[in-house]
């Protein structure tokens, strides 16, 4: 994941803060959406037995997180 962060930082010219939301947003993408050759085309989540169902995995994760957050805030 370090290479992905460095690539993103290069495009943005710099990350202004070390706690940038960009880093937090890259983590779900890396673990749940991006397929890895070392895992035979699976995502890290699939390799761990976690399946994300939907046409757009990242959008599905965001929508599900929003639902869980609402339930926990009650």
**Amino acid 41: pLDDT:** 92
Centre a 10 Å sphere on the Cβ of residue 43 and count the other Cβ atoms it contains.
20
Confidence check: pLDDT of 32 > 80: yes
Q: Against a cut of 0.85, is the pTM above it? A: no
Share of the chain above pLDDT 90, in %: 5
The more confidently predicted of residues 11 and 31 is 31
> What is the residue-averaged pLDDT of the chain?
77
Every domain of the chain and the residues it spans: 2-72
Whether pLDDT at 25 is above 80:
no
Please answer whether residues 55 and 31 qualify as being in contact, where contact means their C-beta atoms are separated by less than 8 angstroms. Answer: no
pLDDT at 40: 92
3-state secondary structure the chain: CHHHHHHHHHHHCCCCCCCCHHHHHHHHHHHHHCCEHHHCCECHHHHCCCCCCCCCHHHHHHHHHHHHHHHHCC
């Amino acid at each position: 994941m370090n290479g992905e962060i460095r690539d993103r930082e290069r495009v943005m010219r710099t990350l202004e803060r070390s706690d940038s939301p960009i880093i937090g947003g890259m983590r779900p993408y890396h673990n749940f959406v991006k397929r890895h050759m070392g895992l035979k085309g699976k995502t890290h989540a699939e390799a761990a037995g976690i399946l994300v169902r939907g046409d757009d995995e990242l959008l599905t994760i965001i929508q599900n997180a929003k639902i869980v957050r609402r339930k926990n805030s009650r």
